[in-house]
Amino acid sequence: MNVALIGTGYWGRNLARNFSELGALYCVCDHNIESARTVADRYGVPILSPEQLFQDQSISAVAIATPAVTHFDLARRSLDANKHVFVEKPMTLDLNHAKDLCRLAALKQKKLMVGHLLQYHPIFIKLKRLAHEGKLGQIQYLYSNRLDCGKIYPKKDVLWNLAPHDLSMMLSLMQATPTKISATSSCNLRDGIPDFATLHMNFPNKAKAHLFVSWLNPFKEHKLTVIGSQGMAVFDDTQAEWNKKLALYSHRVELSPDSIVTEKNPPQFIEVEQSEPLKNECKHFIDCIEHNQTPITNGEEALKVIEILIQARSVITQ
């Protein structure tokens, strides 16, 4: 398996390391030659131009870690060149472009996979299994906080940059499409570019969800909470200890005509075998190509996330 990496910035270097460790990194490509040279020298691979890698028939797949505005063109050209494609989130910024990529991938019979990383996190995989096995009962409410005071990208809004992760997880848990969407945002640093955003969704069977994203928060918090009729679960990725990242709560609520009694119980921390989510994601991409499997986060899954983001932006209030 020969994978060409386009984009050797902060996240591209993480992809380069993992594809190299998997024995799949074939070459790198970046308009910033110094950045490309640093990565190429580290992993002992050549630097190719886009034209060279698209024409190189020994390249099986292309991984794209460039600014989102370039995703559509690079993914389209890769598919046209009969390469499988891994593209970081969001797949595109335009709904029609996303649909075009899905159609082209199907036409070319190539894999199109999107970097919704947390779907490959062992903790989320375990949480999803517990939920789908009915350990929590019927999901009634779920919410996520993805907050930080970290790197702020000059031209990115926080909803498009941070929300895809949580939307992907929520859709995977619910296995349904929202019936209603509303959103709010606040633009404090730059006019028209949100720094805070909340998104609210109604699902079938009366389930609801909301997510809160911000990169102007005094502390870092990456937490997903699932409330079910039989139990509650929290995936807290900011916990330093791996064995405390997934907690189950068996709180009970007793209803009577005259009172509501709540019984609280201590959390049960679930043991999950530790592994690197990004390594799992990169390996899944390779496995899907080699064994002709459909990626968990394929183009169609990413299309649903983009549809929600676009709808949220259309109804957002500030």
Which two three-digit tokens encode residue 132? Answer: 């789908």
Can you give the pLDDT at residue 123? 98
Question: What pLDDT, in 10s, does the model give residues 48-106?
Answer: 999 999 999 999 999 999 999 999 999 999 999 999 999 999 999 999 999 999 999 99
Which two three-digit tokens encode residue 287? Answer: 């496995």
- Give the sign of the dihedral formed by CA 311, CA 220, CA 63, CA 34: positive
Could you tell me the residue ranges of all domains in the chain? 3-110, 119-275+307-315
3-state secondary structure 63-106: EECCCHHHHHHHHHHHHHCCCEEEEECCCCCCHHHHHHHHHHHH
Can you give the pLDDT at residue 262? 79
Q: Give yes or no for a contact between 157 and 222, defined as CB atoms under 8 angstroms apart.
A: no
In angstroms, the CA 268 to CA 67 distance is: 41
Q: Cα dihedral angle (101, 104, 110, 112), rounded to 10 degrees?
A: 10
Judge whether residue 255 has pLDDT over 80: no
Query: Mapping DSSP to helix (H, G, I), strand (E, B) and coil, where does residue 123 land?
Result: helix
Which two three-digit tokens encode residue 280? Answer: 């799992």
Write the class of the CATH domain 119-275+307-315.
alpha beta
* Distances, alpha carbon 153 to alpha carbons 150, 189, 195, 237, in Å: 10, 11, 10, 22
Nearest of 41, 19, 3, 29 to residue 276 by alpha carbon: 19
Can you give the pLDDT at residue 300? 97
Question: What pLDDT, in 10s, does the model give residues 137-187?
Answer: 999 999 999 999 877 777 778 899 999 999 999 999 999 999 999 999 988
In this prediction, residues 108-136 reach a mean pLDDT of 97
- Under the banding of pLDDT at 50, 70 and 90, the label for residue 317 is low
In angstroms, the CA 122 to CA 118 distance is: 8
Opening angle at CA 189, ends 150 and 31, nearest 5: 60
Question: What pLDDT, in 10s, does the model give residues 184-243?
Answer: 998 888 888 888 999 999 999 899 999 999 998 999 999 999 999 999 999 999 999 999
Query: Mapping DSSP to helix (H, G, I), strand (E, B) and coil, where does residue 272 land?
Result: coil
To the question of pTM greater than 0.85 for the whole model, the response is yes
Which two three-digit tokens encode residue 141? Answer: 């409410």
In angstroms, the CA 243 to CA 266 distance is: 15
- Fold match flag (3-110 vs 119-275+307-315): no
Q: Give yes or no for a contact between 32 and 56, defined as CB atoms under 8 angstroms apart.
A: no
In angstroms, the CA 128 to CA 122 distance is: 10
Domain boundaries 3-110, corresponding CATH code: 3.40.50.720
Query: Mapping DSSP to helix (H, G, I), strand (E, B) and coil, where does residue 19 land?
Result: helix
In this prediction, residues 36-51 reach a mean pLDDT of 97
Nearest of 124, 113, 169, 129 to residue 295 by alpha carbon: 113
106: Cβ–Cβ under 8 A, 6 or more apart, which residues? Answer: none
In angstroms, the CA 188 to CA 92 distance is: 25
Judge whether residue 1 has pLDDT over 60: yes
Task: Kindly state the helix (H) or strand (E) to which residue 211 belongs, with its residue range.
Answer: strand 208-214
